[in-house]
Amino acid sequence: MSKGVTVWFTGLSGSGKSTIARILEKKLRVMGQRVEVLDGDVIRTNLSKGLGFSKEDRDTNIKRIGFVCHLLARNGVIAIAAAISPYRETRDYNRSLIGNFVEVFAKCSLDECEKRDVKGLYKKARAGEVKNFTGVDDPYEEPLHPEVVCDTEEQTAEESAEQILDRLEELGYLTHVKRETL
């Protein structure tokens, strides 16, 4: 069994956060771990319904996700948060609150994220139909010292998930176990 930890994914919309988070979740479950994924889109629909996209509302949303991760991690669960979380200060707040915190930067260029834009959000933001869109008319502050950088233009989501598992082992959050390919 592992000790509780939060794996916090950050990156632009379309960078691969949710995809990698789901693969990581499956791998951890196969390993017998207790794990819960908090996806930014799902949280906005349920826990943070009614919040907009102002800096204050974004911070409130990310702090709510952080609080739930804190509760899960302190009870021995591996909490995986996949949310853009554009501001360093709020991610650092969550790191302080949670303690056992592994920041994963899903690194991907804005151009590539726009090419992957299955929801059409970048197109709407460029047309002025969506305001305060991260990376277009609202800033994204890359992490300065993430525990893991997944270059999602250079590696597959599967490779990124394996990289994160390796890092969790290095940091002592997982004991070394033989992994099976899913």
What backbone torsions phi and psi does residue 170 show, to the nearest 5 degrees?
-55, -40
Distance CA 11, CA 82 (A): 9
pLDDT at 180: 54
As a dihedral over the C-alpha atoms of residue 13, residue 17, residue 100, residue 180, rounded to 10 degrees, the angle is: 180
Asked if residue 41 is part of any domain, the answer here is yes
Asked whether residue 37 is domain-assigned, the answer is yes
Specify the amino acid at residue 89: E
Residue 85 in domain: yes
Catalytic machinery residues: 85
- pTM of the full predicted structure? 0.92
Q: Quote the number of domains for the chain.
A: 1
Structure tokens at 173: 């959050």
Q: Is the Cα dihedral 93, 94, 96, 101 positive or negative?
A: negative
**92: domain CATH number?**
3.40.50.300
| Residue 2 pLDDT | 58
* Alpha-helical regions (H) of 31-174: 40-46, 55-74, 88-98, 110-115, 121-126, 157-170
Q: What is the pLDDT of residue 41?
A: 76
Structural domain including 148 reads 5-108+141-170
Q: What is the pLDDT of residue 176?
A: 65
> For the chain, which ranges sit under pLDDT 50?
1, 181-182
Does residue 131 lie in a domain region?
Answer: no
Residue 182 confidence (pLDDT): 46
- Please check whether residue 132 lies inside any domain of the structure: no
